[in-house]
Chain A
Amino acid sequence: MTETSNDNGELYGVVAEFDDVTTLCNAAEKVREAGYTKWDCHTPFPVHGLDDSMGVKFTKLPWVVLAMGLTGCTLAVLMQWWMNAVDYPYDISGKPRWSLPANVPIIFEMTVLFSAFTAFFGMWIANGLPLWYHPLFRNKRFARVTDDKFFVAIEAADDLFDSSKAHDFLKSLGASDTEDVYHSAESAGLPGSLKGKLVVMACLATVPLSMVYNSYGKTTTEPRVHLVPDMDKQDKFRAQGQTSLFADGRMSRAQVEGTVAQGDLDDHSNNVVNAAFIDRGEERFNIYCSVCHGFDGKGDGTVHRRATELADAGHASWIPPSNIILGLYADQSDEELYSTITDGIRTMPGYGEQIPKKDRWAIIAYVRALQMAQKGDSVDTTGMTSEQRGELLFDSQTCSTCHTMNGARVIGPPLNGLLGQEITLDDDTTLVIDETYILNSITDPMAQARKGYPKAMLQVELTDEDLTDLLNYIKSQK
């Protein structure tokens, strides 16, 4: 079958056909042993054991895939961190902007995506494909390589190549047929008709691009095209729109006079501050607030102590809760405290969702009580007069929450100029205030309650000496 001359073109090599895999494998082993380097086997399916027979070196593809897989993994981490924690930080329920667990699914998917693309495209690149022209395709018999025949091809470019020797050698290995294969004399370009079509297609492809380029950054007087009119033109009133429906021609309506926003009816003025209310506040305070602020409000709660331990050991950072007994908070209005409880402040979260409005006000009443109760904690009373000690007690033992010394009525009656006053009691009897009445009112507040005031005064534990001091102070205020 050997043809020495051929007017088609340059010799590519010799191709030999084999009928079964066993002969092929044995032949491949012999060709390798003969020292050929530029040769290959062609089979309809991967023949197992042929790699060993041919001495094919193990591909490096898995390492490339590993490297690209790690690249995908790293990129996914960086992308998510940069996009969600740096460039466009998402604040969701105060959760950390960057936490790995929630990002794992996408890290995994990107790792797989990069690895798979590398395995796929890397394989074709390493195989030198796509390559739509190959001299072997010009051999008629070779068409059966994808059906049921097996081929060995030795290239003319091999140093040991000699056409007739190669034919004899391959025949001796059991080839059922051997043939020369030639390159095409003509260049292996695209067919002329296809070239024309491609040129036309390429020209057409530039049309949309040039349209985009042409209108880029330009203005137009043409109205925009409404692809979805239902969505673009909705039959509704907009804030600044006009209508003939109302006399003033506006779409937006002013609020009816006396409108109260939803929820605003329920304000503090409806609350009665009495012992039960403050008790309720204490209970709620101990549940919600004391964990951080401590039972005494000084900011020494269990959470704070534990967090401080952790922070000292370097495991966490911690901003301590405020001492709400101090002046700053004593000076804050109830509304400010209410706002802090509702919406939170600095690192403190808002408790509006957990604590009903009324309870928030109760907590504030209790906080006021705490502030009063602890006001004089560290005052040195030596050398003070009895009246001065009484004034301290008055301010620190919650008296001043309800009573004033300037004649102003808060919750309880004002306490200046008390002695000799004639008052009406709850049972409509009248009474002239004397020292006994004052002392009794402190030790057993509700026994002879005054008419017109809430029966809300708390019983305060006082020593006899304190009682005397307080009495002297009250007497001194004219």
Chain B
Amino acid sequence: MANSASANNLDIFPEDLVQGTNDFHSITETVCGVIEAPKPPKAWYIIFGTALALLGVLGAMIVYLVTTGVGVWGNNQPVAWGWPIVNFVFWVGIGHAGTLISAVLFLFRQDWRTGINRFSEAMTIFAVVCAGMFPAIHVGRVWFIWWVFPLPNQMAMWPNFRSPLLWDVFAVSTYFSVSLLFWYMGLVPDLATVRDRAISKTKRFWYGLFSLGWTGSNRQWHRYERAYLLLAALATPLVLSVHSVVSFDFATSQLAGWHTTIFPPYFVAGAIFSGFAMVLTLSIPARKIFGLEELITLRHIDNMTKVIMATGMMVGYAYAMEFFMAWYSGNEYEGFTFINRAFGPYAWAYWIMVSCNVLSPQIFWFKKIRRNLVVVFIMSLFVNVGMWFERFVITVTSLNRDFLPSSWHYFTPTWVDILTLVGSFGLFFTLFMLFCRFLPQVAISEVKNVLPQAHPHHDAH
């Protein structure tokens, strides 16, 4: 540890990690202020109201689907995997940034993560909720979805553990559980802060209940930090495994366009790419609406755009490498699939994907653009759109040209497909808006920890 000197501290903790003249108390005030305000800002009502309406649409679509059957969707041979799987992979990909920011960046001692980790962890959990919904409702008889778990049933059957779809069940549910624990554990000290400031009895009861009687005891902090580190170390390989396993759904099949070993790393890079884009989509308006500009600073946004640019180039490399492998393999089916992908009936989708994911992030080479919130926000939307199309392209273009030309089929979604996807955004934003209103959006205790005055200087010796 440095013997003294605030100069040293300034090097380790650059000023713009937390901006303005903030001390411990002002951070508490800023973050808790959002929860304690008698009424949330007008923008909150507008977004929450819209999200709630869309959630209703989702509910209606699910009821219609379950009571009528999966025929209400556009899935049909040979495109048996249509929008449900596209939406599943899309949402689960978004759900990767949270754990990456909170666990991987934590292990790498990237202190800038503290401003945005709570936010992105919440986003992760809500995105995984949206993701998990799609495989559950696509089975047709939803009430039998529990058959995917190794539970004793009246058929005396066990699931097939060698199926990548079952790996998916384990990977996604483990990921959801661990992310939830990680998120809740980080929340406990902050919930205690809200509890200790609460005026109303109801608030004191509920925040008191969920803060588990936290007293900030240092003996407890010691174990808490150790457990946090352990969870981070466990979540890091987990986050990489989840999208790898999702990619196995495709890669272990023998379909041209899917059967490729590049999928796991390519999917993980894509997941990080889309996840960071979603964090930006959410945090740019949120920091403005809730007045968190001093905690979620331009430096955070700058860093995230750099991650987007890097992973965007990885994804671009994977797109190119897929074409190379199709040619180099000499397999005529692979070759056909990829030529069909770029120039066939879905060429429009392919080129939307390439322009959104590969070309557009290139403008982040310029610092001016990285710090222009309007441009960054629009770019983050582009990336979200592009990544949805990536999953669409992979799924649909590989299936729509079957081996038998008589089976060729142009997939079109039905109105139920479209409204279910739109409705899933309703679910996501409803949960997210509730989070923004009732839980601390920024990890209070962690941000305090990156202030220079959080570290004892040993002048007294």
Contact = CB atoms under 8 A, between A and B. Distances in A.
> In this complex, which of B25, B171, B212, B222 has the most chain A Cβ atoms within 10 angstroms of its Cβ?
B222
Interface string A16-33: 000011101110100000
Interface of B: 1, 23-25, 28, 66-69, 141, 150, 156-162, 164, 166-167, 170-171, 174, 177-178, 181-182, 185, 189, 192-193, 195-197, 208-209, 212-227, 230-231, 234-235, 237-238, 241, 245, 248, 444-446, 448-449, 453-460
Interface string A218-235: 000000000111110000
A265 interface: no
A290 B53 CA distance: 70
Contacts of B189: 44-45, 146
Contact of B178 (A46, A113, A124): A113
A130 B223 contact: no
Contacts of A24: 456
Given A42-B216, A105-B248, A133-B213, 10 more contacts: A105-B164, A109-B238, A112-B178, A116-B181, A120-B181, A123-B223, A134-B213, A145-B216, A146-B214, A230-B69
B353 to A, nearest CB: 28
A268 B411 CA distance: 44
Given A43-B218, A84-B158, A123 B226 contact: yes
Contact of A21 (B158, B195, B455): B455
Nearest to A45: B445
Top 8 nearest A-B pairs (CB, nearest first) are A123-B227, A148-B24, A83-B158, A130-B212, A146-B193, A102-B162, A105-B167, A45-B445
Interface in A224-280: 227-231
A326 to B, nearest CB: 39
> In this complex, which of A79, A80, A103, A109 has the most chain B Cβ atoms within 10 angstroms of its Cβ?
A109
B457 A22 contact: yes
B160 A84 contact: yes
Contacts of B25: 147-148
B218 A113 contact: no
| SS class, residues of chain A in contact with chain B | helix
Given A105-B167, A112-B174, A116-B178, A131 B213 contact: yes
11 contacts: A40-B218, A88-B157, A92-B162, A105-B167, A109-B174, A109-B238, A109-B241, A145-B196, A146-B195, A230-B67, A231-B69
Given A40-B219, A79-B150, A132-B213, A25 B161 contact: no
A127 interface: yes
B221 A103 contact: no
A45 B449 contact: yes
A144 interface: yes
Interface in A77-112: 79-80, 83-84, 87-88, 90, 92, 95, 99, 102-103, 105-106, 108-110, 112
Nearest to B210: A130
A136 B218 CA distance: 14
A60 to B, nearest CB: 9
A47 B227 contact: no
Given A129-B212, A129-B213, A143-B197, A148 B23 contact: yes
B381 to A, nearest CB: 33
Nearest to B167: A105
A49 interface: yes
Interface stretch (A50-58, A310-318, A422-430): A50-58
A126 interface: yes
Contacts of A354: none
Contacts of A230: 67-69
Interface residues of A, number: 74
Contacts of B218: 28, 40-43, 46-47, 50-51, 54, 56
A95 B227 CA distance: 42
Contacts of A124: 212
Interface string A198-228: 0000000000000000000000000000011
Contact of B192 (A51, A84, A146, A228): A146
Interface of A: 20-22, 24-26, 28, 40-51, 54, 56, 59, 61-62, 65, 79-80, 83-84, 87-88, 90, 92, 95, 99, 102-103, 105-106, 108-110, 112-113, 115-117, 119-120, 122-124, 126-127, 129-134, 136-137, 143-148, 151, 227-231
A98 B221 CA distance: 45
Contact of A49 (B217, B248, B456): B456
Contact of A45 (B209, B231, B448): B448
A431 B185 CA distance: 106
A92 B166 CA distance: 15
A186 to B, nearest CB: 18
Nearest to A120: B181
Contacts of B237: 108, 112
Contacts of A28: 218
B145 to A, nearest CB: 14
A25 B459 CA distance: 12
A48 B455 contact: yes
A244 to B, nearest CB: 28
Contacts of B226: 59, 61-62, 123
A48 B217 CA distance: 13
Contacts of A50: 218, 221, 456
Contacts of B214: 129, 146
Contacts of A43: 216, 218, 221
Given A46-B225, A112-B237, A80 B161 contact: yes
A59 B24 contact: no
A40 B444 CA distance: 22
B169 to A, nearest CB: 9
B184 to A, nearest CB: 8
A47 to B, nearest CB: 7
Contacts of A119: 227, 230-231, 234
B170 A109 contact: yes
Nearest to A143: B196
Given A108-B241, A147-B196, A228 B28 contact: no
B94 to A, nearest CB: 20
A14 B164 CA distance: 59
Contact of B177 (A42, A48, A116): A116
A116 B170 contact: no
A21 B449 CA distance: 11
B109 to A, nearest CB: 12
A122 to B, nearest CB: 7
> In this complex, which of B67, B185, B226, B446 has the most chain A Cβ atoms within 10 angstroms of its Cβ?
B226
A56 B219 contact: yes
Contact of A146 (B67, B177, B196, B230): B196
Contacts of A108: 237, 241
